[in-house]
Amino acid sequence: MSGSAAVGVYETVIGLEVHVQLSTQSKMFCGCACTFGAPPNTLTCPVCLGLPGALPVLNRKAVELGVRAALVLNCTVRPESRFHRKNYYYPDIPKDYQISQYQYTGHPPLATDGALALEAGGGTRRVGIRRVHLEEDTGKLVHAGGRSLVDYNRSGMPLMEIVSEPDLRSPEEARLFLTRLRAVLQYAGVTTGRMEEGTLRCDANVSLREPGGPHGIRTEIKNMNSLRSVERALRFEEARQRDLVARGAAVVQETRHWDEARGLTFSSREKEEAQDYRYFPEPDLLPVCVDAAWIERIRRDIPELPEARRRRFVETHGLPEHDAGLLTETRPMAEFFEETVRLFGHPKTVANWLVGDIAAYMNAAGVEIEEIAVRPAALAGLLTLIDRGTISGRSAKEVLDEMLRTGRTADEIVRERGLVQISDTDELARLVDAAIAENPGPVGDVKAGKDRAVTFLVGQVMKKSRGRANPEMVNRLLRDRIGAS
């Protein structure tokens, strides 16, 4: 962070606007399926194509998931909310208006005034949730060969927007909030929350202020496509604003896009305030009424949340707090863990591999657990081979590495590479004898009682066996032979 001491007293103020795609079977206002990756314009009908005469009908399940999200975010669910039309022209929006819940006097959104707790720096921070509302997604423009094409598969997909209060004070905290929010929503079954598929999208408002003082001019940051890029983009923007302030220059209220490749935000040169969306209540839909009984039914159906699952992992699987925390950070990770344990048992072993080698691989490759080539059954297969002594722990790391790269099973790899552990005494004895003959010095050390030399000799045998020798048997054989000679 650059700037003089005077600039240092400014604090960073960040608020997030998060869009998630709700995990419904069908779109927000029609019966078309919500499937990712279908051929262009195959998931469409008169309604989501905005054909003349077609009318929207609200998907009850979307309301239910919205209420569910509101409940896990401790929001007040409004007994009646309304949809509005946001009018603007663009080819990806077939009606040239978007149906959305817009807040103005007398028409609150689905839910308001919630909070999400963050564990940070040893304490718990409460980040306010200003509002939760529902809206429909737009289609997607595809530019190809000098032409612009539109894919309307995404048109009408159910979205929920969650707007946080500007309670976040650093890019790290923003990332933590987003991670936590995603986990809670995933656990509640509200969304798959996959940024790379666009089922979770995040914009941020960033400004500086003197602590306790009024908010400074804010910029809106868009186009952040991963948790990592959220943190990077905000870090850049924070530094940029601090630099401006340090130089006595003004921060301009504007929308800025994050350029992942260049690692910077740039002004999108959209004129703020220039757009008049001419919001008015959507006359084709009735108000959304959510009564207390419905809220109770929805509350009862909320699946186990991350906090509860973390506690369960500690209590029933005996995992250390730290591991349990990491394993419950996303719902897919927790489910991966539980499924592997179901197939293999030994929860602690499973946890070690997941928070160790597999997490390291995910970090390095920048992928999520559901994207890696290894599924729980495959991991259980690998762990079984170790457990039976078929392969050594050292070979296992090598095998896992190839499994992650190729998606092949441990059995296949072990067989093909001849990695089956050598536990045959005659064969091992030959290797041990050769090592003793080649290393008279260390052998003498062993005889002189220097135990460390045994380790060296075991290493030599392992090398000769290309890691396949059973290390415990080698150790025993070495001691026997040297002692006997």
Judged by the rule CB under 8 A, the positions of this chain that interact with another protein are 46, 49-58, 85, 87, 89, 91, 94-97, 150, 276, 278-280, 283-286
**Least distance to another protein, CB of residue 198, Å:** 22
Q: Which among another protein, Zn ion, none contacts residue 483 (Cβ within 5 to 8 A by kind)?
A: none
Q: Which is nearer to another protein, 15 or 50 (CB)?
A: 50
Residue 204 contact among another protein, Zn ion, none, beta carbon within 5 to 8 Å by kind: none
Q: Which is nearer to another protein, 86 or 310 (CB)?
A: 86
Q: In the bound complex, what is the minimum distance in angstroms from residue 47's beta carbon to Zn ion?
A: 5
Which residues are near Zn ion by CB under 5 A? 30, 32, 45, 47-48
Supply the minimum distance, in Å, between the C-beta of residue 147 and another protein.
12
Write out the two tokens for 315.
């209590």
- Cβ nearer to Zn ion, comparing 26 with 87: 26
Among candidate residues 49, 291, 68, 25, the one with its CA nearest the CA of residue 158: 25
In three-state form (DSSP H/G/I as H, E/B as E, the rest C), the secondary structure along 245-287 is HHCCCCCCCEEEEEECCCCEEEECCCCCCCCCCCCEECCCCCC
Q: How far is the CB of 138 from another protein (least distance, A)?
A: 13
| Distance between CA atoms of residues 206 and 257, nearest Å | 13
CB 469 within 8 A of CB 428: yes
Nearer to another protein, 107 or 375 (CB): 107
Q: How far is the CB of 100 from another protein (least distance, A)?
A: 13
* C-beta contacts of 409-412 below 8 A and 24+ residues apart: 409/378, 409/381, 410/378, 410/381, 410/382, 410/385, 411/381, 411/385
226 binds, among another protein, Zn ion, none (CB under 5 to 8 A by kind): none
Choose between 99 and 422: whose C-beta lies nearer to another protein.
99
198-203: which pairs have CB atoms within 8 A and are 24 or more residues apart?
A: 198/21, 199/20, 199/21, 199/36, 200/18, 200/19, 200/20, 200/21, 201/18, 201/19, 201/20, 202/16, 202/17, 202/18, 202/19, 202/178, 202/230, 203/16, 203/17
Helix (H, G, I), strand (E, B) or coil at 388: coil
> C-alpha angle with apex 23: 94 to 200, nearest 5 degrees?
75
Q: 276 vs 451, which CB is nearer to another protein?
A: 276
What type of residue is 155?
Answer: S
Task: State in angstroms the smallest separation of the CB of 46 from another protein.
Answer: 5
d(CA 81, CA 286) in angstroms, rounded, equals: 9
- In whole angstroms, the minimum distance from the beta carbon of 133 to another protein comes to 18
Which is nearer to another protein, 276 or 426 (by Cβ)?
276
Q: At closest approach, how far in Å is the CB of 93 from Zn ion?
A: 14
| Residue with tokens 């207390």, as numbered in its chain | 292
What does 276 interact with, of Zn ion, another protein, none (CB < 5 to 8 A by kind)?
another protein
Closer residue to another protein in complex, CB, 49/343: 49
**What is the token pair recorded at 64?**
């239910």
284 binds, among Zn ion, another protein, none (CB under 5 to 8 A by kind): another protein
Q: Binds 32, which of another protein, Zn ion, none (CB < 5 to 8 A, cut-off by type)?
A: Zn ion
Query: What is the C-alpha end-to-end distance of the chain, expressed in Å?
Result: 67
C-beta closer to another protein: residue 26 or 423: 26
Instruction: Give min distance, CB of 286 to Zn ion, in A.
Output: 20
- Which tokens in the block code for residue 189? 């079954």
